[in-house]
Structure 1
Amino acid sequence: MKDFVNKYKSELVNNVLPFWERHSIDQEQGGFFTCLERDGSVFDTDKFMWLQGRQIWTMATMYDKLEAKDQWKKIAEHGARFILDNGRDVNGDWYFSLDRSGRPLVQPYNIFSDCFATMGLGALYKITGTDEYGQVALHTFNRILERQQHPKGVYSKLIPGTRDLKGFSLPMILSNLSLELEHIVGTPTVDGLIDQVIYEVMEVFYQPESGLIMESVHLDGSFSDSFDGRLVNPGHIIEAMWFMMDLADRRGDVNLMNKCITIALRALEFGWDEQYGGIFYFKDILNRPPQQLEWDQKLWWVHLEALVCMAKGYQYTGNESCKLWFEKLDAYAFEKFADPEYGEWFGYLNRLGQPLLTLKGGKWKGCFHVPRALFKVYESLQSVYKLHVAT
């Protein structure tokens, strides 16, 4: 176990964080570049609000929980100044993307821009106490709650009343976001939201027949035999289960913890590619042809979140299946995704496990999943190691 603890910390501080420190900071016009080639060179200068917020969170959290390096705090403050000056419309909702100088390019149709802006600013407020960060984080959080039933608002393409579905992504993220903002919104608000989120994730979207969680369901939670309704994203399920495990641990809820582990292991078994290894990106619950052409790709975040989930499952319960899956995922992920030559991890592999793109960041990949997962695994396994040493 000690070898894993050292491995994950070393990968984080020696290979991943330095990549973003060296290559992502726009010293001239503010904010962060995320469209980075394998060697860190910039291939596009557009700035995506959710990735800006994620990098602020990463740097502030590393300062708070790993080491109080002044450089990490400065990077987080650098990003915050850019998004606060440029990132919101007149309602306080966050644009999806800006050009390099901060001019808006895409309207605030994507509520996840708001989720990660408030998450980043909340983490930065924790380490600085700067009122502006806390106030904007709180306002954004309240707007998210106002918009959660119709997150896209006027930007939705769907016709209401014909096939009304609700998506899993937002309640999943709210389960983690509420904990991240407890120091701002207060424990009573968080506890109330947790009740709602646990019900949504573990009852409404969970389908007992398959033992899996669907990406979309009818408003009453029933199954929709449609492209969207049949879609399973194993990575989303597994990520959500470690969010739920943290809530179960917070509440001392053994039944919830065991259900989380059962669902996570089921999702891994369902999503694992027995022929080539790795976790499929998408599957159809009825084994019909998926409409996502990237269905059989192997993505960085899916495998990283699975590592976190299995590490936490083992930390919280000592479940041996979690330990075995962690070791299996660790071997695959470090062989296929990690890049010791240039730093950071590849994001997109084909089914055989070969890089489809050698980029290290883009419109969807930034400074978040890799460092967060490495830190979470390090944190969990360090806890297990200390417990073993003590006993």
Structure 2
Amino acid sequence: MELRKYSEFYRKQLLEDTLPYWFPRSLDHEYGGYLLMRDRDGSLIDDDKAVWIQGRFIWLLSTLYNTLEKRDEWLEGARMGVDFLEKHGFDGDGRMFFHLTRDGRPIRKRRYFFSETFAVIGYAAYARASGNAGIGDKARDLFGKCIEYAEQPGLLAPKFTGERPAKGIGVPMILVNTAQQLRDTIGDPRCDTYIMKWIDEIERDFVKDDIRCVMEQVGPDGHIIDHIDGRTLLPGHAIEAAWFILNEARHQGNNQRLINLGTRILDYTWDRGWDQGYGGVYYFRDVYHKPVQEYYHDMKFWWPHNELIIAALLAYLLTGDGKYARMHKQVHDYAYTHFHDKTHGEWFGYLHRDGTPAQMAKGNLFKGPFHLPRQEWFCWWMIDWFAKNK
């Protein structure tokens, strides 16, 4: 692989294409936080605020400050997000909202705790950047609450009746990365133990080596639930799990067990998730190749491609196996050909199966400045790290 070429490409895309689309235009100087629901050209389509992406943009700006250059405007931008969430992001019970008006009035609160996980990584990165010990303590406190929510499901209102109990890979997967980010910024003595606990759960209950598959949802003991929801696979989540595990392998000095686990997950998901006809990653698949419930199952969403670019590159750097270099090039070329908007910058979020844009918006309740800039930042950073630590 031409690693230096890719490193320079990702750095340039991040700083000259992706970030300028969002910053500084998204800073809300009137009410605080960020205005992120934007059309192709950057104009606003809605001034509501998704709590997930407020936390994610805090993380991005703080991470750039911590790892690239100590620019005052990045730190100030991150502070605006922290102040907004501190003022408006939390309900009286300590849980976080999901959807707010521009001035911070709550619209919706969901029955899971991903708002909290993104606040943890944003607050932790900001605490390191700013030296604000109070926000660092808040990040650790929120991490503790996430652990409680994960280990005591009854703390959150159930969505289902309990007739067919299930658990999803999303919780252990996102908590692995939450703990990694917390550990790598301000530290927490719980992180190493819990990271391995959640990785063990993913391997034990969700990875099915006998059918070369990674399940999105399983029964409490890891069995496959043979109903439409239980059979539905989400390749993007499996790919995220793969690179979080591979990154942990790197952190632990090339832990071979974790390299093997991460590459197995990647291999299984590539075989099931890559569209051999048109290219790109399917959004949903069925474990037994049956029809799925969701009508958009064959669309191409932006974020699984960001995760696959990272996962394939990291797998190559850890193993030297040329198939991962080829995998990285294939998804990189597809994504920057089809998702990248060469006129206005950033990426379209949603493509039809044939790779044509389904709509032009760049920001909404779920898409914003996270998966793409994280991919470009991490790939650039990772290539340089491996060059220095061979």
Q: TM-score, with normalisation over the residues of structure 2?
A: 0.95
Structure 1, unaligned runs of 5 or more: none
Name the residue aligned to 1:216: 217
Deviation, structure 1 residue 185: 7.6
Matched letter for residue 267 of structure 2: L
Q: 1:63 to 1:316 in 2, by over 3 A?
A: same
Q: 2:338 aligns with which of 326, 333, 336?
A: 336
Matched, 1:351 2:353: yes
Distance 2:37 2:104 in 1: 16
SS in 1 for 2:228: coil
1:1-391 maps to which residues of 2 (within 5 A)?
A: 1=2, 2-149=4-151, 153-160=155-162, 162-182=163-183, 186=187, 188-252=189-253, 253-383=255-385
Deviation, structure 1 residue 340: 2.2
Structure 2, unaligned runs of 5 or more: none
CA contact (8 A) 1:57 1:123 kept: yes
CA contact (8 A) 2:299 2:350 kept: yes
SS in 1 for 2:45: strand
CA contact (8 A) 2:31 2:103 kept: yes
CA contact (8 A) 1:23 1:41 kept: no
Distance 2:264 2:188 in 1: 29
Q: How many residues were matched structurally?
A: 387
CA deviations over 1:120-172 (Å, ceiling 9, x no partner) = 01110011111231122122111111111455855422112x21001110100
Matched letter for residue 373 of structure 1: Q
Distance 1:280 1:263 in 2: 16
Distance 2:154 2:43 in 1: 34
CA deviations over 1:264-301 (Å, ceiling 9, x no partner) = 02211211111111110010001111111111010111
Matched letter for residue 175 of structure 2: L
Matched letter for residue 23 of structure 2: E
SS in 1 for 2:312: helix
SS in 2 for 1:105: strand
Distance 1:212 1:74 in 2: 44
Q: Which moved further from structure 2: 109-118 or 79-88?
A: 109-118
Q: Which moved further from structure 2: 176-185 or 15-24?
A: 176-185
Q: TM-score, with normalisation over the residues of structure 1?
A: 0.95
CA contact (8 A) 2:283 2:296 kept: yes
SS in 2 for 1:181: helix
Distance 2:184 2:133 in 1: 13
CA contact (8 A) 1:111 1:152 kept: no
Deviation, structure 1 residue 356: 0.5
Distance 1:364 1:26 in 2: 19
Q: 1:258 to 1:183 in 2, by over 3 A?
A: closer
Q: 1:217 to 1:176 in 2, by over 3 A?
A: same
CA contact (8 A) 1:172 1:201 kept: yes
CA contact (8 A) 2:182 2:188 kept: no
Percentage identity across paired residues of the two chains: 35
CA contact (8 A) 1:96 1:107 kept: yes
Deviation, structure 1 residue 208: 1.7
Matched letter for residue 368 of structure 1: F
Distance 2:66 2:187 in 1: 19
CA deviations over 1:209-234 (Å, ceiling 9, x no partner) = 22221111110111110122111111
Distance 1:18 1:151 in 2: 40
CA contact (8 A) 2:218 2:230 kept: yes
SS in 2 for 1:329: helix
Distance 2:115 2:95 in 1: 9
CA deviations over 1:175-218 (Å, ceiling 9, x no partner) = 11111112688454112102211111112111122222111111
Q: 1:224 to 1:164 in 2, by over 3 A?
A: same
Distance 1:336 1:378 in 2: 21
CA contact (8 A) 2:125 2:186 kept: no
Deviation, structure 1 residue 351: 0.2
Q: 1:117 to 1:151 in 2, by over 3 A?
A: farther
Distance 1:237 1:150 in 2: 24
Distance 1:38 1:79 in 2: 23
